[in-house]
Amino acid sequence: MSIRSRFPIFEKKTYLNSCSYGALSVDVREAYQRYLDDWNESGSDWDKWVGLYETARVSFAGLINAKPEEIAVTFCASDGVNTIASALDFSSPRNRVVVSDFEFPTTAQIWHAQEKRGADICHVPECDGRIPLEHYERVIDDRTLLVSIASVCYRNGSKQDIRPIVDLAHKNGALVMLDAYQGLGAFPIDVRALDTDFLVGGTLKYLLSSAGTAMLYVRQELIERLTPTFSGWFAQRDIDAMDIYANDPAPTARRFESGTPPVANIYAALAGVGLIQSWGVERIEKHIGELTRAIKDGVLAEGFKFATPVEDEAHGAMLAVKVADEIAIVDALAQDDIVTSSRDGNVRISPHFYNNLEDIDRLLESLRRNRQYML
C-alpha cells in the first residue's frame, strides 16, 4: 500500500491542515482497534501497556537524538511546560522568563501563571513576521532564568534560527525551553546540535497520531537538579511502591511525568511515529520543501501576499497567506473539499509527506476562484 493510500481522507478531500491535526492513517485506526482488542481480551494487561509506554519513550528519543532516560512521556505539551515550571525557583533575583511572541498560547499562559510565584515575564516582539536576534539580545541578561522559544510559529509558519538564541541564553547563564511541536516529523530536530535544555512536542500534528500523547526532553545534566512539584505515581523511582508517605522522584526524566499514562493514545503514537520513521524525516523534509516551493510560486504568481517569510530556510512546513476574511476563505476552500485552517487573519496551508503536486494545483485553483477573500 502506498503512503498516500494509507490516509483514506484523500479519497474525498485535499488535506492541507497538518499544522492543526495530522490526517488519520489506517495504521493509527488499526492501532486503536488493537488497544480495544487487547483490553477486551486481557482486561488489564499492565505489563504490556507499561512496555509500550517505554517503547514510546525510546521512539521519541530517536526522533530528536536524545537518550531514552532524558524523555518524559506526557499527555500534552502543556503538561511538559507545567512540570518544568513547577521545578523552577523564582524567588531569587534571577527570576526572568523570556517568552517569544511566536509562542503557542498555552506556553505563554503557563509562564504568566508563574507570576504568582515571583516570575518576571518578558516578551520578545516580532517584526514583519520574524524575530531578529537583536530583539533577544535586548532582554536576555543575568536576571534571566529561562528563555522559551518556538521552533516554528503556529500563526505564520516562521522558523527561528534556534542555536544563536540558545548560545545567547547560555552565555547569560539561562536555560532554554524549545517548543518543537510545529517541527517534529516535518524536519530533523537534534537536541545535541541545538544544545537546548528542554524540548516539548506532541504527536497530533506532523507525527500523525492523535491528541493525548506528548513528550518532554530534559538534558541529562539537569534532571537530578530539578524536582517538579507537578507530579504523580509514574514520576516515582518505583511506580509499584505505592508509597503515600513520601515523594521519591525517578532519577531519569520520568520524574517529570505524572499519573496513569494515556494507554490508548500510546498505541496510536507508536503507529504514527512508525510511519514517520519508515519514510525518514530527511526525506519528508525534502518532499515538503518541494510542495511549499510550489505553493509559494503559485501564490506569488497570483499576486497574493504571504504572512510567512518566503525564503526556504525561514519557514517550516506551514505557510500563511494573508486574506481579507479568514473564515470565509477557509469555508470557501472547504466547499471545494480542501481542508485548511486560519489564525491571525491568515489562511494556513500545511502539506505533509502524503500530499502531492496535484493537491497544490487544486489549492491554487480554488484560491483563484475565491480571490475576493484574498489580499
Q: What is the CATH number of the domain that holds 141?
A: 3.40.640.10
Same domain? For 197 and 286 the reply is: no
pLDDT for res 212? 95
Rounded to whole angstroms, how far apart are CA atoms 271 and 128? 39
Contact criterion met (CB below 8 Å) for 81 and 113: no
> What is the predicted pLDDT for the residue at 42?
94
Domain shared by 164 and 145, yes or no: yes
Q: How far apart are CA 220 and CA 370, in angstroms?
A: 52
- Residues 253 and 313 reside in one and the same domain: no
Q: Which residues contact 279 (CB under 8 A, 6 or more apart)?
A: 3, 353
Domain boundary residue among 239, 259, 276?
Answer: 276
Determine the pLDDT at residue 270: 98
CATH of residue 354: 3.90.1150.10
Residue 41 shares a structural domain with residue 85: yes
127 with 240, same domain: the answer is yes
Q: What is the pLDDT of residue 2?
A: 86
CA–CA separation, 111 and 198 (whole Å): 15
Strands 338-339, 341-343: pairing kind: unpaired
pLDDT attached to residue 168? 98
User: Domain check: are 220 and 284 in the same one?
Assistant: no
CA distances, 209 to each of 272, 275, 281, 316 (Å): 5, 10, 16, 19
Q: For residues 203 and 178, state if they share a domain.
A: yes
Residues 159 and 241 in one domain: yes
Task: Give the model's pLDDT for residue 214.
Answer: 98
pTM of the predicted model, to two decimals? 0.97
Give yes or no: residues 144 and 224 share one domain.
yes
Q: Are residues 243 and 284 in the same domain?
A: no
- Residue 13 is part of which domain span? 4-24+280-373
Task: Determine how many CB atoms are found less than 10 A away from the CB of residue 238.
Answer: 10
Boundary of a domain, candidates 261, 276, 291 = 276
Count: domains in the chain = 2
* pLDDT tens series, the chain, 375 aa: 689 999 999 999 999 999 999 999 999 999 999 999 999 999 999 999 999 999 999 999 999 999 999 999 999 999 999 999 999 999 999 999 999 999 999 999 999 999 999 999 999 999 999 999 999 999 999 999 999 999 999 999 999 999 999 999 999 999 999 999 999 999 999 999 999 999 999 999 999 999 999 999 999 999 999 999 999 999 999 999 999 999 999 999 999 999 999 999 999 999 999 999 999 999 999 999 999 999 999 999 999 999 999 999 999 999 999 999 999 999 999 999 999 999 999 999 999 999 999 999 999 999 999 999 999
CB 61 within 8 A of CB 71: yes
Residues 164 and 202 placed together within one structural domain of the fold: yes
Check whether residue 211 and residue 298 sit in a common domain.
no
| Residue type at position 364 | L
Domain boundary among 240, 256, 276: 276
